[in-house]
Structure 1
Amino acid sequence: MSTDAAPSRRAALRQRDFRVLLVATATANLVLPLQLISLTFWAIDTYPDQKVLLSGLIVAVRGAGMLSFGLIGGAIADRFERRRVILACECAMLTTTVFLAACLLTMPFGDATVVAVLGLVFVFAVTMAIDVPSRTASIPVIVGRDQLGPAMGLFNVALQVTAPVSLPLVGFLVGAFGPDKVVAGSIAAWIIILPLIASLTYTKPPGDAPLRPFRPAVMIADIRSGLSYAARDRVILPVIAMVFVMQVVGMPGVGMLGPVWMTEILGLSRAQFGLIAMLWGMGALTGSFFLASRPALASKGMTLAFLVTLFGVGGIVFGHSRFVPLTSVANFGLGVAMAGTLLTSATIVQYQVAEEMRGRVMGLFPLVLGISMLNVGPVSAAGQAVGLPVVVPSLEWVVLALALAIVFLSPALRRAEGDGGRSGGSPPESPRVDVAAPAEA
């Protein structure tokens, strides 16, 4: 299987725009964990009495931005030139990061600076919510449907390849220079990102939605048609449900509050946290490479079912363990399961979805991520009230139960298999009239 995949991967990499997109994406994903973890440590240092609550609030505000604009970002991806959308988003992210670094370095509003920081985190998340659907929906346009499976595998590797570097690096950098200077230093990444994105040349396919005025009524109609399309498809709906379970229920405790868990519950230093977190990144990279070399396996519904179940089991071990080596093994497994879930779910959906609906359906992924981040607020509040050692393992038991229930109740998901994925579900009719014709106000 992996032998057959190698020529396919090389064929995808022969596309210049795809190579450019991969490098730009890998560079951007070196910056994102640096920023988020640095902000968490900044909150711990600056507001020690509210460290758990504010650590969760930073992630929750980021989630609110992605939740608010996730569906809008998908509609934009189906309406405009996607490469221009990505470039505009990267420019906005750079500007936001400059202001964010200035706030952290100078504390212009004293203790109230946290309000400005949260506002900038929200703006950054909004740009991410608009960027992600355009970025992922661009892949089939660049490489073609024949190379979609290998290309999705390579794209997921680009998302994860920097994790083993960025996670231990952030622990070292924060300890050496402080979180404010780490965020300021992340600005340099856009020296690479912006020229790469500006050099993209691909255009919307001829059959895609025409470029036309994007009135509010049209946007609402586009979003409604995208949601209806996804809800009718017997493969896409359970795939999104599985991602929802992992991201919204499972990730807040073991992933997004990981810095607090490692330093406060396990008593690790920040440098030690970086080393343990590196195992998550190594697991994510291992899972990504394994599935990228086996695109047929990465497009199976049962692979997705196994990975979400694995995430639940790994989270249960993580939440109950106080033995650092065992927690490290669980962290590695969580990385494998998380990265594999994102790769398989996106691959199955990319094969399943009609081109004119691609941006809106792929926009559901940042929407779910936004809900996940937003849920960190209640989870951190519950952790502050009753303790993270109670909250975290309880959530992971729920993940395991819900994952098994979805698999049992969704035969179409169990049968889904790459290009044959539609044979497992019911091909929904494409609401082209809603997409192509202006909606009446």
Structure 2
Amino acid sequence: MSVPRHDPLAALRQPGFALYAAGRLAGATAMTMFNAVILYHVYELTASPFQLAFIGLARFLPSLGLTLVGGALADSANRRLIVLAAQVVPAGASLALLSATASGTVGTPLIYALVLAVAVAAAFENPARQALLPQVVTPEAFPNAIVVTSTVQSLGFVTGPAAGGLLIGLVGLEAAYAAHAALVGVAIIAVLLLRPRPVELAPRVVSLAGIREGIRFVLQRQVLIGAMTLDMFAVIFGGAQALLPIYATDILGVGGLGYGILAASLEAGALAMSVALVFLPPIRQAGRALLSAVALFGLGTIAFGLSRNFYLSVATYAFIGMADQVSVVLRQAAVQLSTPDELRGRVSSVNMLFIGASNQLGAVESGLVAGLTSATFAVVSGGVGTLAVVAIVAARLPGLRNYRIEPRVSEPARSPAPAGHGTLPS
């Protein structure tokens, strides 16, 4: 049987997914704007790389303790309502920071407390939002929806830091916090209007046994645990985001506006690659492509760390984003295509835990190493560490190295694909 022709806009032709995507765009823009503004605000108040590390720690701790609980809740309760409830928290955090900044009473304890509260909410929102995706799109368009969602998310990730830096440079921190609150409001409205298809979930309570079931599912599939592990350690070593305020202020001397451009360049590269992935035929040799993409991520990180030219730094950071986006799409495809709906929240929570560990522990690692040595040493050594991780994973996990995503023309089976192969529904 012939493979169906690739339709790059299959998911967006469905009204439910279009609404989901609009809410995701607003939410992703808001999230990255908030993260970028917080980093700049803390460095402006303290001028300390160690304080930037503490921000990363405040974001990571709730992920470590609550993300798995959030995944179990997503498999036992209304996923749409979980997302709605969680989004109220970041909106309130921005309004509180807006008020404190305008009155001149803002300090690092308040910022840390609100960052912690937002991270707690995200620990419940993220697995529920991931698990909600197949309820708003048909099975035939689901693989395309994964790629399109990544594209929409990348657009938000580009817009957020750039808009945050622009608002800081031209108006002030208060305007950035107000814009964040407004964007979260738009995301809330989109979810309110969403009418996902109901799913049949077995009645269960949130329990350790249910959480262990999701963890076992991941551990028993070499492709899933390999892809998650590769991404986590590569970003822990290679992530330079937490040090961007230092590069913008002390190394490149470009100020708040330059910081916004620099922060957005990573996601600009990711967006360009994501758009290309929507229109190009699906990647079949997924394992080898994933390893290659992470290796390029490491090489780009080394180049960024050594650069002393603003334009070269923007270009290399965009290149890092392009490589990372390939990794993101392939990892999400493996997770979503291999997971039955009754486990989707818990498996997504394991994936989110790895993502949270990579992003936030990467910020901690970068800040601590930069504080003890220098920002340049922290970034360059992280790129070298990323290359070492790729070599180790490629050598020790042949199942990931040989993983392929095969097209499928018959109705998809309910059971997960065997390790080493993924399937795309027709």
TM-score when scaled to structure 2? 0.89
- Detail structure 1 runs of 4+ shifted over 6 Å in the superposition: none
Asked if 1:209 corresponds to 2:202, the answer is yes
SS at match of 1:97: helix
Distance in 2, matches of 1:316 and 1:153, equals 28
Displacement after TM superposition at 1:393 (Å): 0.8
Matches within 5 A, 1:50-129: 51-108=48-105, 113-129=107-123
Asked if 1:418 corresponds to 2:418, the answer is no
Q: Which runs of 5+ in 2 are unaligned?
A: 408-415
Q: Which moved more, 1:362-371 or 1:79-88?
A: 362-371
Displacement after TM superposition at 1:39 (Å): 1.5
- The equivalent residue for 1:399 is 386
**Conserved 8 A contact 1:43-1:54:** yes
Q: Which runs of 5+ in 1 are unaligned?
A: 428-441
Distance 1:180 1:43, change over 3 A: farther
Distance 1:176 1:323, change over 3 A: closer
Displacement after TM superposition at 1:297 (Å): 0.9
SS at match of 2:253: coil
Q: Structure 1 residue aligned with 2:213, among 218, 225, 228? A: 225
- The equivalent residue for 1:291 is 277
Distance in 1, matches of 2:342 and 2:5, equals 30
> Root-mean-square deviation (CA), in Å?
2.5
SS at match of 2:254: coil
Distance 1:89 1:295, change over 3 A: farther
Displacement after TM superposition at 1:149 (Å): 1.5
State percent identity of aligned pairs.
Answer: 23
User: What is the CA deviation profile of residues 139-170 of structure 1, one whole-angstrom value per residue up to 9, with x for unaligned ones?
Assistant: 22322433222100110011111334333322
**Conserved 8 A contact 2:27-2:156:** no
User: What is the CA deviation profile of residues 2-59 of structure 1, one whole-angstrom value per residue up to 9, with x for unaligned ones?
Assistant: 99322xx4332233221111000101111122211211221222223xx322222223
Distance 1:398 1:283, change over 3 A: same
**Conserved 8 A contact 2:298-2:386:** yes
Asked if 1:300 corresponds to 2:297, the answer is no
TM-score when scaled to structure 1? 0.86
Matches within 5 A, 1:17-416: 17-48=16-47, 51-108=48-105, 113-206=107-200, 208-210=201-203, 212=204, 214=205, 218-251=206-239, 254-294=240-280, 296-297=282-283, 300-372=286-358, 373-416=360-403
SS at match of 2:136: helix
**Conserved 8 A contact 2:243-2:366:** no
Distance in 1, matches of 2:149 and 2:5, equals 18
Distance 1:202 1:282, change over 3 A: same
Distance in 1, matches of 2:202 and 2:374, equals 50
Displacement after TM superposition at 1:298 (Å): 7.2
- The equivalent residue for 2:412 is none
Displacement after TM superposition at 1:424 (Å): 4.5
Distance in 1, matches of 2:337 and 2:312, equals 38
User: What is the CA deviation profile of residues 251-271 of structure 1, one whole-angstrom value per residue up to 9, with x for unaligned ones?
Assistant: 2xx223222223222222222
How many residues in Structure 1 have an aligned counterpart in Structure 2?
412
Distance in 1, matches of 2:243 and 2:67, equals 23
